[in-house]
Every structure is written in structure tokens, then in C-alpha cells.
Amino acid sequence: MAQIQVTDLTFSYDGSADDVFKDVTFRMDTDWKLGLIGRNGKGKTTLLNLLMGRYDYRGSIKADSRFDYFPYQVSGPDLTKDAAVLFEKWKPQIELWQVLVQMSELQMDPACLYRPFGTLSFGERTRLMLAVLFAADNEFLLIDEPTNHLDSRARDIVKEYLASKKGFILVSHDRDLLDGVCDHVLVLNRTFIEVQSGNFSSWWENKEKKDAFLQAENEKHLKEIGKLKSAADRSGRWADKNENTKIGFDPVKEHDRSISTRAFIGAKTKKMQARVKSYEKRIDREIEEKEGLLQDIEKVSELKLEPLRFHKEMLINAYDLSLRYEGADRELFSGLRFQVKRGERIILSGDNGCGKSSILKAILQKTHAGGYAGGSGLLVSGDLDVSSGMTISYVNQDTSFLSGSLQKFCETQGLNESLFLAVLRQLDLGREQFVKNMEDFSEGQKKKVLIAASLITPAHLYIWDEPLNYIDVFSRMQIEKLILRYEPTMLLVEHDVRFQEKVGTDVLTVNSMAQEEQGSSSGQERRLHPYL
């Protein structure tokens, strides 16, 4: 068992006044299955790139193993090449049989190797890259968010596969994946980095206990500081009052006092002043002990939502719904039936490509909401009744259209800029990001822009399409808490199992026509979630 030792690592990007890492030291064993946890923008991907040697840094990184990184870079021309050609480019030292062994474990058809990479689904691309990644020996692997855009089935396959391996760092915001795969966690806290054995849930349980203890210590120090300040103020006022009586007195009113009393009053005042100084020193000690107690507490801020209440109970009613795109040789699905009633949170589930996002687009197209007013080539058959007069707030899974400043975005979207920026701050988007253009944001930061815009838009129905891709764990918990508190009516696509368990009132599983041809008897399966 080899080790990876990181010592006094310091790094900042060119032109940035702030260090991403400063004097960071930690150790890892190369047979660990390590989950890398941290908020968006804390430097998770940067750390992986530093381990790969892609950036210059101060300090040292010592490792006996080679590193390899997921995902591999795929250029435009690469999309037309067979996967068998690409893996020779990604990892020249491996042989075909090694990749085929890993593909079998990932439940992949070997024929995928001989198809143009651009024709593979997201799930097939991810699993193929993982097969190539794990094909060699004596490497420590760096895996950056492998489950984004993957459906539930593909996520389960990847989770089972990674659980059978060792010797990697996994960056993921999927709590179910982190719990099912990892035996250690590397946590990028607000002021330091820690390594701990266990998975996400065990770390979070320990963190909650530690945070509760620190909160209690903080409250104890605050109370003690308050008591000491009151006592110091009281003694100070007594000392000042006493000092004022040293010179001059009324012999009629104060017949028992003489000149010699002045020395006694002075001594008494000096004693009180010494007591004040003692209080002040104790206050300084209490403040010093209090400082830093709350620096690394992850505060899951309370977000607010103002859903509108629609006058009808039934918002959407689909009966024998079928969708097809112009030019396609078959429908995405057929015979779909579902309803969305006021107060429900319906989660669409199913394999990639089955038509989940197309259902959302059909609703938006029918209501002219979310920028869809026809012309998308989406053909609707059957009945899709959407109540008129509804206000819909939409979060698109695509963020590529975001560009320009946040201020300009607020103008074009008709958003209250102050409120919008306040919500972004609650989602832990730093103020230094406010002056940047959105094309320079990370994918997680772009997603937070869309979610914040939706949250401050009062609506009867919230339609969210894979809103949590790239969103950090802490922000996911904020959003879950928000939804459970305000109970908006929602129709959403989201593959995060923990999110489904917490917020969904119903799950609608959509089966594609390809699945039906393989033996499925129905275009959909509706089930009440077992956790609710």
C-alpha cells in the first residue's frame, strides 16, 4: 500500500488575489476509495488538476502511483471517431482485452466500441470512459462527477462498479453514490482540509455533532462575555463615582469625614479599577477562545419561496399522450397518462432519451412559457390539457445560453436585482463572482443562477429539468428544505435518489418505445413513493 503526501500546497490562479489553497497538508493511501466533498467553487476540480500536474504550485505532492483523470477530453472531430480509436488516444498503454473486461463489468455491449462516439448516449460515454480509466494497473484515479446527466439505471450501474474498485478520488454531489462507494472522505472545509474514514453520511453525522458542540461553546462564551462586560461596566461606574468624591466635601452633610478619608477613597478606587482591568483581560480571553469556533460550520441558510395558489385543483392532465420529433422514425413513447394537481411534486423518472425533458417542453410549448412558443419540431398526439392562466417558473437543464453580466440577466428576465443577488449569496455564490460574466462561471454556479431566478419568481407551477446537476451537497439540502417548507406545485426531472425520497409526492416512470419493444407493456408506470 503506497501513500500520496501533499505538503504545504499553495495555489492561486493568475490574476486572482485569493489563494485557492494555502499551506495545505494531508495524506492519502492509494487503496482508499475517497470521496471529495466541498461547495461549488471550493477547488475540487482544481485539486484534481494539481495532482495531474497541470498547474504550477508551491509546496510538494509526492506519489508512487501514476494519476489518470475522468472525463477524458473529447474534441469536436472526436465525436465522429469510433470509441475503439479514441481509447488508444486516451490511454495508449492498454490493450483491447483490458477494456472489454471492464466493459463487461459495466454491463456494456462491446459493439459500442465500433460506433462513432457522438452516437453514444451520456450513460454509454460515461461507462466507456470508466472502462478505459480502470483498464490499467498501478494508477490512482481521479474521477470528476461521473453521474451528471445519467439516468437512475446508469447511476446504479456506475455505483455498483465503483464500489467494487479501489484506489481513486471521486468528486460527486450525489449522496447516494458517495455513501455506496466511498470508505474515506476528503473534505474541503471553509478554512481547512480534513481526511476522515467513512462515507458522506458518517462524516455529516460527525460534522453535525461537532457543529452543535461549537455552537453551544459559542453561546457559552457569548453569555460569559456579556456577564463580564456588565460587571466591568458596573465596577467602572463605581470607580468613577468614588474617584469624584476624593476632592471636596460638605462638613455639615458629611460630618464623619475628614481630609484623611481621601487616601482611603483613593485606595478603594484603585482596587475597583484593578477589578475592571481584570474583567477586561477575562473578556479578551473569552473573545480569543470564541474566535474561529464558527468558521467551518456549514450554514444551510433558509431560502424563501412565494408560490402562487391556482384556483383550480387540476393543473395538468395528460391522457394517452405520445410525443415525436419531426423527421424521427418513431415516437418517444405512447399512451402516457398522468395528472399534476395543486400541491403535488411529480418527479419524472426513466432512462436517458425516453422523453422526460420532452414532456416538460410540450407543456411549456402549449403555455408559451419558458421561451417555448413552437418551432421546436415536437409533435404532440393524444390529450395534453394544461390549465390556462398559470404562471410557470422554468429551470432548463442547459446552461449554455447564459452569458454577460448578472445585472444584464436581471434586466432581460425582469428580476429584482437586489433580491436575486441576495438569493445567490444564500446559495454560497461569492460576491467576487458578481462582477464576472456568466460564461466564466462553473457549471454549478450557472445552475445556481437559474435556480435563484426561479426561486424569486412567484408561480403556480415550477418546472425544473435536472436542476441539481453540478450543484453541491449543501445547496441541495437547502433546496430540499425550501421545497418541504413551502410545498410548491412542481413537475421535475431529477435522478438524485435522496432528493426524490425527500421531496417527491409521486414518481412517474416513463418507458421509451425502445423499452416497450423489448417487452414493456405500458408507456408509463406511476408509483407512490415508498418513503412518503
For residues 267 and 437, the model is more confident at 437
What is the reported pLDDT for 524?
47
Residue 522's pLDDT band (cuts 50, 70, 90):
very low
Residue 367's pLDDT band (cuts 50, 70, 90):
confident
Residue 485's pLDDT band (cuts 50, 70, 90):
very high
For residues 193 and 489, the model is more confident at 489
222-to-25, 31, 209, 217, 464 alpha-carbon distances in Å: 33, 45, 20, 9, 43
Residue corresponding to grid cell 435556480: 451
Say what percent of the chain tops pLDDT 70: 80
Q: Are residues 243 and 328 in the same domain?
A: no
Mean pLDDT of the region 294-307: 68
How, if at all, do strands 392-395 and 461-465 pair? parallel
Distance, CA of 138 to CA of 68 (rounded, Å)? 10
- Domain membership flag for residue 309: no
Distance, CA of 94 to CA of 90 (rounded, Å)? 10
Q: Are residues 430 and 520 in the same domain?
A: yes
Given 183, 203, 223, which residue is the final one in a domain? Answer: 203
Q: Are residues 244 and 333 in the same domain?
A: no
What is the reported pLDDT for 283?
62
Distance, CA of 144 to CA of 172 (rounded, Å)? 7
For residues 512 and 83, the model is more confident at 83
Q: What's the pTM?
A: 0.74
- Domain membership flag for residue 300: no
Total number of domains constituting the chain: 3
What is the reported pLDDT for 352?
82
Q: Are residues 355 and 271 in the same domain?
A: no
What is the reported pLDDT for 530?
33
Quick count: other Cβ atoms within 10 Å of Cβ 400? 9
Given 203, 225, 257, which residue is the final one in a domain? Answer: 203
Is the pLDDT confidence value at 440 over 50?
yes
Distance, CA of 122 to CA of 223 (rounded, Å)? 55
Residue 284's pLDDT band (cuts 50, 70, 90):
low
Q: Are residues 275 and 337 in the same domain?
A: no
Average pLDDT of the chain?
A: 84
Q: Are residues 168 and 232 in the same domain?
A: no
Q: Are residues 239 and 192 in the same domain?
A: no
Residue 17's pLDDT band (cuts 50, 70, 90):
confident
Looking at residue 230, its amino acid is: S
Long-range contacts of 226-229 (CB under 8 A, 24+ apart): 228/279, 228/282, 228/283, 228/286, 229/279, 229/283
Q: Are residues 220 and 354 in the same domain?
A: no
pLDDT digits (tens, 9 = 90+) for 24-65: 999 999 999 999 998 887 889 999 999 999 999 999 999 988
Q: Which helix (H) or strand (E) holds 299?
A: none
pLDDT digits (tens, 9 = 90+) for 226-252: 766 776 676 666 666 665 555 555 555
Q: Are residues 192 and 233 in the same domain?
A: no
pLDDT digits (tens, 9 = 90+) for 113-162: 999 999 888 889 999 999 999 999 889 999 999 998 888 888 999 999 99
List all residues 6 or more positions away from 412 whose beta carbon is below 8 Å from its beta carbon.
none
Q: Are residues 199 and 236 in the same domain?
A: no
- Domain membership flag for residue 298: no
Least confident span in 57-71, 190-204, 507-521: 507-521
Residue 526's pLDDT band (cuts 50, 70, 90):
very low
Q: Are residues 368 and 420 in the same domain?
A: yes
pLDDT digits (tens, 9 = 90+) for 444-475: 899 999 999 999 999 999 999 999 988 988 88
- Domain membership flag for residue 305: no
Closest C-alpha to 326, from 267, 273, 374: 374
Range of the structural domain that residue 262 is part of: 207-290
Phi and psi at residue 452, to the nearest 5°: -60, -40
pLDDT digits (tens, 9 = 90+) for 371-427: 554 556 889 999 999 999 999 999 998 898 999 999 999 999 999 999 999 999 988
Q: Are residues 273 and 396 in the same domain?
A: no
The CATH number covering residue 502 comes to 3.40.50.300
